Structure 1
Amino acid sequence: MAASAQKQRYANISLGSSLKPSTNSSWLSPSGLYAFGFYELTNGYAVGVFIDGIPEKTVVWTANRDDPVFPRTANLLLTDDGRLILQQEDRDDINIASSDRPVVSASMLDNGNFVLYDSSRSMTWQSFDYPTDTLLPGQRLPAGEDLVSSASKTNPARGIFRLVMQTDGNLVQYPVEISEPSYAYYVSGTWGKGNNVSLNLDNNGHFYLSDGSSIVSNLTPGQYRTRTIYLVRIDVDGIFRLYSRSLDRQGNWTKEWSSTEDKCVPKGVCPVNSFCSMADGDTRCECLPGFSLVIPGNWSLGCERNFSMESCKDKEQNASYRMRSLENTLWEDTNYDIIKDMKTKEDCENACLEDCNCAAALFKDGICRKQKLPLRYGRRLQGDSNVALVKVSTRSSFTQGVPNNSDNEIKKERHLDIFIIGISLVALAALILAISWVYVHRKHVGTYMISNDKNVEMIDDVGLRAFTYAELVQATNEFEEELGRGASGTVYKGILSNYKIIVAVKRLEKELAGMREFQTEMKVIGKTYHRNLVRLLGYCFEGSNWLLVYEYMSNGSLADILFNPESRPCWEERIRISLDIARGILYLHEECETRIIHCDIKPQNILMDERRCAKISDFGLAKLLMLDQTYTDTGIRGTRGYTAPEWHRNLPVTVKADVYSFGVVLLEIICCRRSVDQRLSENEAILEEWVYNCYAAGELNKLVGCEEVDTRTLDRMIKIAIWCIQDEPSMRPSMKNVLLMLDGTLDIPVPPCPYSFQSSI
């Protein structure tokens, strides 16, 4: 909490009241024990409820949890129409709380509940109905609701563990986004007790499950103490605990009860390809044998092999490996093959060595279960007979994940082979495309016409408006004003006569648009909605006329403002644009209904609205992933200069391809120049190489010239970009971690030199 903040007790908060981080920062409860308002984070301020009447300001509820950080200039306002909103400069208002009935006042209650009231003083909204990671006395967790741990002790965003009050009466803990019984790591054992069981805590620390009429299960007996407060929280480590604290100033939080005393029990406490063990009462994560941290010193991305695997085409490849044993370890069993009646552990080792797809095997009681990577939820458990057998290289000269010289020579030869094959394939593809182009233009047949019935069947489920071709001809004044051209068509400015709304109409070219591309545009973009994605409003599908209608972006593309000296954004705006783009990509990768690889992230596909908020557009090249897929094999997509190396190496393409493209775009945003500029000297023509050379030489000032920028922020953004453009996809961070690094929540280690740069340095 800011030291200069002024605080007052408010029994009744009237419409029009407001808070700011640096002045009147919070509304106190009548006793002064609880407060609602701004509390300080390492990189800004969050809005929430916290215990203010004790020296350690303990947060118990956070608003807008998925994006909780706000600047010092933010303003929290209870509007005249009864909405609680957060206002920021150059940003849309964020709705913190609202009601379906007219609101006339609000209060911060002495039980820690922040509420909105209507004119009859009836409660219309309360924070108790939307718990984050904590329950307070008098608050209940109803059936179907959950608590989710925080990302870290200093970041209140959603973490990786959750506590679920299931509708079968069972209280269960899972890793986030998994609800299968086999993944549970705490179970109350109260299934079958009805679908109305809730988790409750009273003022005496009595923690129990109730069906509304009787107690189903007592988790703690409770104990009456004067001047004592209680809370239940699912902690960052995945364990939920009951705490008490005396209200005396010299008091401390004391653990009264916990779901387990073994800190290795929560599944995911150690990341992929690592296992958890206890040391001196605390957890210790260790990488598998033959594995190293993806980012040295940072466990967030887990571990990866510190050697290169041979191709399965090499029949003698098993001679390059041996097996290492990890006794007394438990793992998630995601086997692709089970071999029974194995007499010895050595038999299981040999079975894995002889199978080039086998990365590890789990051996127990004569059963051998072959596994692929990653291995998850590993932990030591003394007395368990399960043995993990891990395939490692027979070479011994590996340090910090860097192979020895002989391995480098092998990699160079392999890269040369891949390059020759790639050139041959490109030449063959060009020949096929040329023949196809001639064939299509000679035929002049209506290849792309489909019936209206198919049109309705395809579009029904996305709620988009159907336009006639005549309407869009009129709206665009016969396609008079061209806004731009893309890989899949031309975009025109239009005005909808009925609504006087300016739109962008994208006319798909027959030569480029096929059924699959159109369905991708319609079904996927129609179902996505995020403030950093351009929204699709409607479509036209008449014969060979295929058109899409988007919201209009009045400030053109990022390329228009970034590479134009007259409209170049200031340093603060460039940081904001970077965050906008990262949030949009994160939504595509992790948050929308169908996971999407955009495949063509570049400044031309990032559009700017009237407030210069960046929005990602053009999903015409998107490659979709089903929920159980992690990669796709496809032809090269995207734009030269922004495509990840794996596109050219015939390797599986994952969401990390977009991370690479984002890294290139981030460098362009930092330096306000294109990634390739042949007008510059040989040393500066390729942006990525020039940036790394300047970074390695400690000359970052060259990247921004005479412009005044915050040097610490510049250093942070450069390091993020270099991590994003690593040649090895597993070395690149996820977009979630990119966003955490951009806003300063996650520490950034020193990035290595990308492999492709090493020959030129």
Structure 2
Amino acid sequence: MQQASMVLLFLLLLAISMANAQQRNFNLSRGSTLSPMGNSSLFSQSSTFAFGFFSFGDGFAIGIWYEGTPQKTVVWTANRNDPPVSRNATIGMTNDGRLILQEVGGQEKPIANTTEPAIFVSILDSGNLVLYNSNSTIIWQSFDYPTDTLLPGLLLRAGDQLFSSISETNHSMGSFRIKMQIDGNIVMYPVGSLDAPDFAYWESDTNFVGKNATLTLDGNGRLYMLNSSGAEVKNINNGAVPSGGKIYRATIDADGIFRVYSHNLIENGSQSIVWSAPEDRCTPKGICGINGYCDLISQQPVCACPPGFVFINQDQRNLGCNRNFIVESCAFKNDRIEYTIQELQNTIWLESTYAILSSMTIEECNLACLEDCNCEVAQFQGQECKKQKLPLTFGRRTQQEAGNPTTLVKVGMDSGRNGTMDPKEARKKVLRMDILVSGVACLSFALIVLAFATFLIFRYRRWAYKKILYKANDQGLIDDVSLRAFTYNELNVATNGFVEKLGRGSFGTVFKGTLSEQRIIAVKRLEKVVAEGELEFRNEMRSIGRTHHRNLVRLLGYCHDGSNRLLVYEYMSNGTLCDYLFKSQLNPNWEERINIVLHIARGIVYLHEECETQIIHCDINPNNILMDEYGHAKIADFGLAKLLMPDHSRTLTGIRGTRGYVAPEWHKNLPITAKVDVYSFGIVLLVIICCRRSIDVNVPESEVVLIDWVYDCFTANDVCKLVPKEEVADKQSLERMVKIGLWCIEEEPVVRPSMKKVLQMLEGNVDVPIPPCTRSSL
């Protein structure tokens, strides 16, 4: 009887064990899926690691984590710079052997790019996600594409890098990287910097091991190097004491420190730091952002701002600092200077000197910086005065020692010195404030009166306008109230027989004319339009006539006289953007070119999202962007392509656009959406900031195609080559513009941002992530 009971108990335990095992997925085969709300994970055989969805922001991300620890520490992330996906997304193996992320709306994104079909996916007990073919051979593995973590068995080969995450909860690419260099050195740099000594903040000093060395971690927490023949040549962390039940990882953390961690599976996965480098947590360059500096207090890094600066975001001090005063003039005003110098001791920065003065005292250095409009900061050391411009980068407080540099910061007088102010100056300030308050009160009263008068005038004009509409409706003329209908003879006279040609576009030729009231106009004689009959043409004109924006060329009227179809536009005195950039003598500077980019973006956003009916331009290029007398850009020829109706996914006009600016989907017979304008805008943006044509045969062969050259310069971290013979005050501004342009010209339309998102990035309202830079071959 007792024997039978033991057998029953064994069978019961076996059944429970099998039931638990069946609830866990160890392989993902063709046709199988994982979802955030259901079977969300794939597990290794020991259940140490899991692959699938984990919480990120207001959605989910995809990656690999320790399942056996309460923290569920993430060690690898797929498509790490992508935004969170929704709860309706799935991970699946397709029937043709691809591992993909399927999002709402049927959009697919590869998780693993393989050269041959896979049969199934597994995650090994090493934490390596692998895809197998029909011969059970590994054809792809996550160990070949590490993110921020080195696991035992993963080899960081020469040229490979690990990139830190933004934070412990946001695994997008952060600010620091560690590289296994070809020369055998392991070096840490800020992301986006050159592989140069000025930017390195830690190195292993192992170039003696020779080229093509490899960094790896073993199961006992030893971080060591192998030479090109596979022999161990250097122990980086001087070994670790192995202990049963521990697993190890090496991670470059969000603060730029490379650490080896142990997780004790026996003690519920408790985590501890085995080794870290560098030891000084203020060493990572750029940890406190632009104009900020790091001060080590009780062995903890604390970000601070120089005198006259405040944090950009008080809750995220690593973003850096901005001035707390408005820069107006550095000249003398009312016999007193507008600025003063404040000193910051024992702080070093990345040197960006534009002038060095020798044999000076600190007082003379102060005065030299005050009298120089370009000087914003000076470094004084010994008897040398080094003048610099903002931004300050890689700031760090050093130990107080004789001979340390003194940073002289030019600040506004209104910033005060420790909050004190001269009493006379205070009384003057109170008097100025009283005058200001009185002025504002008077101005407010005047504006109220003006607003009331404007309201009465508006009411009267609206009443008069309704009377006109009523009469026009009786006469069948209501459709043409907003636009003037011209006869062909009127425009023939206005243009003096169409003799002065302004240019030629996709839809016809443009001529200069003058109306009887001496108003200069531009008359476009159409050669190809979608609408065939008079009614269709008039409807199209009404749609365009209702479209008004400061960055769109205004349509004043039209002519439909027999076979003659003409449009009458406001005249733009500075011609096309192409002429403005390449043929005129104006040579717009960097700020003017950025403003032109913003004008164009705002015009396209209006067409896509703000006008009555969405308009896809289909031919954004420098010849369809006109410049007024003030250098403001306006978009022409909008609405002449077929309007996109809500029930249409593709225009019916065939391939439009100008060579060098056409989106890839035109050539692939894909649905045409507003993203074609985003692509063309991206090319125009790069043309404007680089001040050269999209295709130029008069340059070296590697620079002929602009987008290829921009891509090469961006990946080589040498974007300054793109700007012609001028100094951009803020290199970050140039890099930001290049990144936005590269996002816009992504081959896949779904990857490109909307124009509204592009405008937000241009205006600095949202961050610009690193673009994937997948180029079209068209």
Aligned to 1:174: 189
Distance 2:633 2:181 in 1: 39
2:225 paired residue among 204, 209, 218 = 209
Say if 1:7 and 1:25, in contact at 8 Å, map to a contact too. no
Counterpart of 2:578 in structure 1: which amino acid? G
Aligned to 2:748: none
The SS at the match of 1:337 is strand
Aligned to 2:145: 130
Q: What per-residue deviation string (whole Å, max 9, x for no partner) do you get for residues 219-275 of structure 1?
A: 122333221100000001001101111111444211111112211110111011111
Aligned to 1:425: none
Distance 1:371 1:334 in 2: 6
Change (3 A) 1:96 1:396: closer
Q: What per-residue deviation string (whole Å, max 9, x for no partner) do you get for residues 259-307 of structure 1?
A: 1221111011101111111223311111110112234444354221111
The SS at the match of 1:628 is helix
Say if 1:633 and 1:653, in contact at 8 Å, map to a contact too. no
Distance 2:399 2:28 in 1: 57
Say if 1:306 and 1:398, in contact at 8 Å, map to a contact too. no
Aligned to 1:334: 352
Change (3 A) 1:297 1:226: closer
Q: What per-residue deviation string (whole Å, max 9, x for no partner) do you get for residues 35-91 of structure 1?
A: 110111231111111110122201000001111511111111111111111111136
Distance 2:722 2:317 in 1: 21
Distance 1:318 1:632 in 2: 39
1:291 paired residue among 298, 309, 317 = 309
Matched, 1:360 2:372: no
2:328 paired residue among 310, 332, 344 = 310
Cα drift, residue 170 of structure 1:
1.3
Change (3 A) 1:298 1:226: closer
Say if 1:339 and 1:367, in contact at 8 Å, map to a contact too. yes
Say if 1:19 and 1:26, in contact at 8 Å, map to a contact too. yes
Distance 1:240 1:633 in 2: 40
1:736 paired residue among 746, 765, 768 = 768
Cα drift, residue 191 of structure 1:
2.5
Normalising by structure 2, report the TM-score. 0.58
1:514 paired residue among 561, 574, 578 = 578
Counterpart of 2:409 in structure 1: which amino acid? V
Distance 2:407 2:370 in 1: 14
Q: What per-residue deviation string (whole Å, max 9, x for no partner) do you get for residues 425-478 of structure 1?
A: xxxxxxxxxxxx999986559999xxxxxxxxxxxxxxxxxxxxxxxx999899
- After TM superposition, the structure 1 = structure 2 runs for residues 152-191 of structure 1, keeping only pairs within 5 Å, are 152-178=167-193, 179-191=195-207
Aligned to 1:118: 133
- After TM superposition, the structure 1 = structure 2 runs for residues 216-255 of structure 1, keeping only pairs within 5 Å, are 216-220=233-237, 221-255=239-273
Change (3 A) 1:132 1:724: closer
2:412 paired residue among 368, 393, 417 = 393
Distance 1:46 1:280 in 2: 36
Counterpart of 2:341 in structure 1: which amino acid? M
Matched, 1:260 2:278: yes
Distance 1:305 1:633 in 2: 29
- After TM superposition, the structure 1 = structure 2 runs for residues 561-572 of structure 1, keeping only pairs within 5 Å, are 564=612
Cα drift, residue 311 of structure 1:
2.6
Say if 1:244 and 1:256, in contact at 8 Å, map to a contact too. yes
For structure 2, the residue ranges without an aligned partner over 5 or more in a row are: 1-19, 420-425, 440-493, 506-526, 556-571, 584-603, 616-631, 651-670, 691-709, 711-718, 727-732, 741-755, 772-778
Counterpart of 1:324 in structure 2: which amino acid? Q
Change (3 A) 1:512 1:409: farther
Matched, 1:350 2:382: no
Cα drift, residue 735 of structure 1:
3.3
Aligned to 1:594: none
Say if 1:630 and 1:654, in contact at 8 Å, map to a contact too. no
For structure 1, the residue ranges without an aligned partner over 5 or more in a row are: 414-436, 449-472, 491-508, 520-555, 569-597, 635-651, 660-674, 676-716, 740-761
Cα drift, residue 103 of structure 1:
1.1
Say if 1:276 and 1:286, in contact at 8 Å, map to a contact too. yes
Distance 1:440 1:351 in 2: 65
Counterpart of 2:720 in structure 1: which amino acid? D
Aligned to 2:393: 376
Say if 1:174 and 1:184, in contact at 8 Å, map to a contact too. yes
Matched, 1:273 2:291: yes
Cα drift, residue 407 of structure 1:
9.4
Say if 1:291 and 1:305, in contact at 8 Å, map to a contact too. yes
Aligned to 2:35: 20
Say if 1:600 and 1:621, in contact at 8 Å, map to a contact too. no
Distance 1:512 1:239 in 2: 52
Cα RMSD (Å): 5.0
Counterpart of 1:66 in structure 2: which amino acid? N
Cα drift, residue 736 of structure 1:
3.2
2:82 paired residue among 62, 67, 70 = 67
Counterpart of 1:735 in structure 2: which amino acid? D
Change (3 A) 1:373 1:733: farther
Q: What per-residue deviation string (whole Å, max 9, x for no partner) do you get for residues 542-584 of structure 1?
A: xxxxxxxxxxxxxx9875665559x99xxxxxxxxxxxxxxxx
Say if 1:318 and 1:354, in contact at 8 Å, map to a contact too. no
Aligned to 1:81: 96
The SS at the match of 2:97 is coil
Distance 1:633 1:654 in 2: 17
Say if 2:331 and 2:338, in contact at 8 Å, map to a contact too. no
Distance 2:364 2:411 in 1: 17
Distance 2:497 2:218 in 1: 75
Q: What per-residue deviation string (whole Å, max 9, x for no partner) do you get for residues 317-373 of structure 1?
A: 97222211111111111111111222x222221211111111111111222111111
Say if 1:270 and 1:377, in contact at 8 Å, map to a contact too. yes
The SS at the match of 2:353 is coil
Aligned to 1:53: 68
Say if 2:291 and 2:305, in contact at 8 Å, map to a contact too. yes
1:198 paired residue among 188, 195, 214 = 214
The SS at the match of 1:735 is coil
- After TM superposition, the structure 1 = structure 2 runs for residues 529-540 of structure 1, keeping only pairs within 5 Å, are none
Cα drift, residue 379 of structure 1:
1.0
Distance 1:621 1:351 in 2: 43
Change (3 A) 1:170 1:441: farther
Aligned to 2:479: none
Counterpart of 2:376 in structure 1: which amino acid? A
Say if 1:13 and 1:106, in contact at 8 Å, map to a contact too. yes
The SS at the match of 2:287 is coil
Aligned pair count reads: 519
Distance 1:445 1:134 in 2: 60
Distance 1:128 1:105 in 2: 17
Aligned to 1:624: 689
Aligned to 2:50: 35
Distance 1:287 1:187 in 2: 28
- Higher relative CO (CA 8 A, sep ≥ 6), structure 1 or 2? 1
Say if 1:135 and 1:233, in contact at 8 Å, map to a contact too. yes
Q: What per-residue deviation string (whole Å, max 9, x for no partner) do you get for residues 596-626 of structure 1?
A: xx98899x89999679976353538633158
- After TM superposition, the structure 1 = structure 2 runs for residues 687-726 of structure 1, keeping only pairs within 5 Å, are none
Sequence identity percentage: 37
Counterpart of 1:208 in structure 2: which amino acid? Y
Distance 2:274 2:116 in 1: 40
Cα drift, residue 7 of structure 1:
8.5
Cα drift, residue 189 of structure 1:
1.3
